Structure 1
Amino acid sequence: MLILGMVVIGMTSVVALGSVALEDTERQSTLERAEQSMAQFDSRAAQVALGAESLQELSLGHSSGNYQVVEGEGTITVTHVNHDGDDSDGDDDKTDDGNYDDDEDIYSGPLGAVVYQNGDTEIAYQGGGVWRHQDGNTQMVSPPEFHYEGSTLTLPVVTVTGEDSASGSPTAVVERATSTETIYPNSNTDYVDNSTKQYTNPASNGQIIVTIQSEYYQGWEEYFNSRTEGSVIDVDHGAETVTAELITLGHQGEFNLPSEDNPFQVRGLEPSMQDGDGLKDLAVTLRPIDRTQDHFSSLDWSMYVHSGGQEMEINLKMQGSGGCGDAADLTIYYHDGGETYQGWHAENAYTVDCSGSTPKIELDLIGDSTPSMNYESVTASNLVASNPNSISLQDPVVFDHFEGDNADVTYTVGSDASADLIIRHYFNHFAPTFDLRSTDGNHGNSVNEPSSNGNNIIYTGSDVITYLHVSENEVKVRFE
């Protein structure tokens, strides 16, 4: 009897455990089939939403779960943050003070979803993507209709409408609800607070912010982090939102001379030494505060970048009395945060020009006519914003990817190189985005920042949004 009882108990346990395992296997198989069905549904819905077909039908196969159209599930908002590049004090210096001065919601609307539910697991189609939601977490099964390649963001927003539900072996019917509406670019639409700026490409200034509010926000976060060049800047688990930032190319052309408090932001610079790529033009015109005979008598002016432990400074220091025809020395300094620095110096690099109504010094820093500079030690007296006195000159120093041949070039003390090449090389170290500032070492008869116009910057961009394409594509889903 004892042996018989043990056999019965063993058989019962085997049957019970086997039944549970079988149920788990069958459920997992059902969920995998549902994922495949949803992936096929995704493909058919895209044909309708993006204009190839007006109606598509798809048999979803037999399932023990339930399908439902959830109209209004989730929202998407596309915002052009600080679209005019101004700061809040209204001085039009093309910088962002960090408070998102002028923001425009280019698009905001519901996404909707088609959801398959089986127990505590959901397989959902939303925004042109398929998501698996289980145990409070969401994973991406297939990516949404969100394409960020090179400098172009293509975002056909797919909106699902309907109120139907089904189980068993339903057939999903997808039909176009409305014609595709082009949101951006659209020359007939003005920015709300700037009637002279239309929704046209190339998009410039500020950032493009995409915010998703959805039960499946974690899957969207996974997509932004793994499949795009954008960066997730905020995840709010309580509100079920994820926000991704895609930067636009910074201001090009003429710009006001920056100061320490109001820097000029270089945004999206492509790090390149190829001809025609990367930094293509940088010109600065300096004018004196006092227009006496000694126009630039105490000139000690620097334009600099300090970012992430790195320092670069371009200094111009007057050697004569500062009158017409007198010359100023040029110094370029770079420090990567380590125990050594790199220093360049050119005597009599630029002269005071009095040919016009106002004395000026024109610094053409990029191009074939830039001065030749010598690799040598510099001191704090050659600079304003940096201090190399406690560190030593790096010798030798290697510039990589020199010009177009991808070869490395080594410089030692006494070597020569053009200011054009040196500045482009160091700017690459800070790319793609950094702040340019300027300051005076002497606060007497030096640079008059407001009147120092004639400044120009041109550069090619990478990892930025230059062309933006946003459209609304509404489909209606029902089951038969």
Structure 2
Amino acid sequence: MINKKFLSSEDAVSEVVDFVTILGLLVLSIGLIGVAGYPIVKNAQEANHIENTKQSFIVLANNVNKVVMGQAPSQNVELKMYGGSLSVTGSSTINITAINSTNENITLVDRQMRSIESVVGETIVAYEGTGVWVRYPNGNTILVSKPLISNQSNMLVIPIVAIGGTSSVGGSGMSRVTAKGIPKVSVYKNVSNIIVTINSTYSKGWENYFTNVNAWSPCDPDECTAKLEMENIDVYIINIQLDTEVE
């Protein structure tokens, strides 16, 4: 009798309504957390993938630069991909001029460089000109690993890396970059007023690099043209055609 009275009472109805209300609020809360939290988790995951790719490209640069500097005939480097692409691409160029001992304007280098690029989301991590650069969706470009340009004791050394190949892979998992080549050195004695002009997707990064290196003047706006206003120095240009393949 007591149980029947309770089940038919207003208290029983109230408890059922309260339970349904709480359950509904719980389901709604979980849904809202899922909707609001997913972008946060996704962004954090992508940031982690970008950081991992940056570190991998530093290792890539250290190894490939051994070929550039004649310390190894070839190098193989494995890289992890996160659903984007890895490719040999680009059309960047470098031009270097100077004034020789007879006061003539001479061209030391006028060559295409190109790059090895990994795309993670809308961010690009690249090896170009012996350095590593990161270009974000807003166009901002940062330097991750400095190019091997050296200026000391009136001797300027500039490696010029022309990256050959057109291979590309996409997806997730491990990939491999193979690079080989033989460097050749050209020497220009007793020259002055070195001007380096770089046309690249990563020009802003190059601009920041030259701005923070002693003796170089900042790049001009909209184009990375850096000047080394020193006289009677020796310039060593390390030229290499880097045969590159990604797989």
Indicate conservation of the 8 Å contact 1:107/1:183, yes or no: no
> In the TM superposition, what is the alpha-carbon distance from 1:117 to its structure 2 partner?
0.6
Aligned to 1:61: 80
Distance verdict in 2 for CA 1:81–1:4, change over 3 Å = farther
Partner SS, residue 190 of structure 2: coil
Aligned to 1:22: 41
> In the TM superposition, what is the alpha-carbon distance from 1:137 to its structure 2 partner?
1.2
Partner SS, residue 80 of structure 2: coil
Aligned to 1:173: 178
What root-mean-square deviation, in Å, do the aligned CA atoms of Structure 1 and Structure 2 show?
Answer: 1.9
Matched, 1:223 2:225: no
Deviations 1:293-337, CA, capped at 9 Å, x for gaps: xxxxxxxxxxxxxxxxxxxxxxxxxxxxxxxxxxxxxxxxxxxxx
Aligned to 1:43: 62
Whole-Å Cα distance in 2 between the matches of residues 172 and 150 of structure 1?
A: 36
Indicate conservation of the 8 Å contact 1:145/1:157, yes or no: no
Aligned to 1:147: 150
Give the residue type in structure 2 aligned to 1:202. N
Partner SS, residue 221 of structure 2: strand
Aligned to 1:76: 94
Partner SS, residue 160 of structure 1: strand
Indicate conservation of the 8 Å contact 2:210/2:219, yes or no: no
Question: Which protein shows a greater Rg?
Answer: 1
Aligned to 2:131: 129
Aligned to 1:34: 53
> In the TM superposition, what is the alpha-carbon distance from 1:5 to its structure 2 partner?
3.5
Whole-Å Cα distance in 1 between the matches of residues 57 and 183 of structure 2?
A: 23
Whole-Å Cα distance in 2 between the matches of residues 477 and 84 of structure 1?
A: 40
Structure 1 residue aligned with 2:225, among 243, 263, 266?
Answer: 243
TM-score, length of structure 1 as denominator length: 0.45
Partner SS, residue 139 of structure 1: strand
Q: Which runs of 5+ in 1 are unaligned?
A: 86-101, 186-200, 250-464
TM-score, length of structure 2 as denominator length: 0.84
> In the TM superposition, what is the alpha-carbon distance from 1:79 to its structure 2 partner?
0.6
Indicate conservation of the 8 Å contact 1:138/1:219, yes or no: yes
Deviations 1:361-413, CA, capped at 9 Å, x for gaps: xxxxxxxxxxxxxxxxxxxxxxxxxxxxxxxxxxxxxxxxxxxxxxxxxxxxx
Indicate conservation of the 8 Å contact 1:234/1:243, yes or no: yes
Q: Greater share of helix residues, 1 or 2? A: 2
Distance verdict in 2 for CA 1:243–1:62, change over 3 Å = closer
Distance verdict in 2 for CA 1:82–1:468, change over 3 Å = closer
Partner SS, residue 8 of structure 1: helix
Whole-Å Cα distance in 2 between the matches of residues 83 and 22 of structure 1?
A: 61
Aligned to 1:202: 190
Whole-Å Cα distance in 1 between the matches of residues 212 and 227 of structure 2?
A: 14
> In the TM superposition, what is the alpha-carbon distance from 1:103 to its structure 2 partner?
2.2
Partner SS, residue 36 of structure 1: helix
Aligned to 1:417: none
Whole-Å Cα distance in 2 between the matches of residues 478 and 228 of structure 1?
A: 35
Aligned residues: 225
Partner SS, residue 66 of structure 1: strand
> In the TM superposition, what is the alpha-carbon distance from 1:150 to its structure 2 partner?
4.2
Indicate conservation of the 8 Å contact 1:81/1:209, yes or no: no
Indicate conservation of the 8 Å contact 2:88/2:246, yes or no: no
> In the TM superposition, what is the alpha-carbon distance from 1:111 to its structure 2 partner?
0.6
Whole-Å Cα distance in 2 between the matches of residues 83 and 209 of structure 1?
A: 16
In the TM superposition, 1:340-419 aligns within 5 A as none
Indicate conservation of the 8 Å contact 1:148/1:228, yes or no: no
Whole-Å Cα distance in 1 between the matches of residues 22 and 144 of structure 2?
A: 51
Whole-Å Cα distance in 2 between the matches of residues 149 and 202 of structure 1?
A: 14
Deviations 1:397-448, CA, capped at 9 Å, x for gaps: xxxxxxxxxxxxxxxxxxxxxxxxxxxxxxxxxxxxxxxxxxxxxxxxxxxx
Whole-Å Cα distance in 1 between the matches of residues 239 and 164 of structure 2?
A: 13
Structure 2 residue aligned with 1:116, among 107, 115, 118?
Answer: 118
Whole-Å Cα distance in 2 between the matches of residues 42 and 25 of structure 1?
A: 26
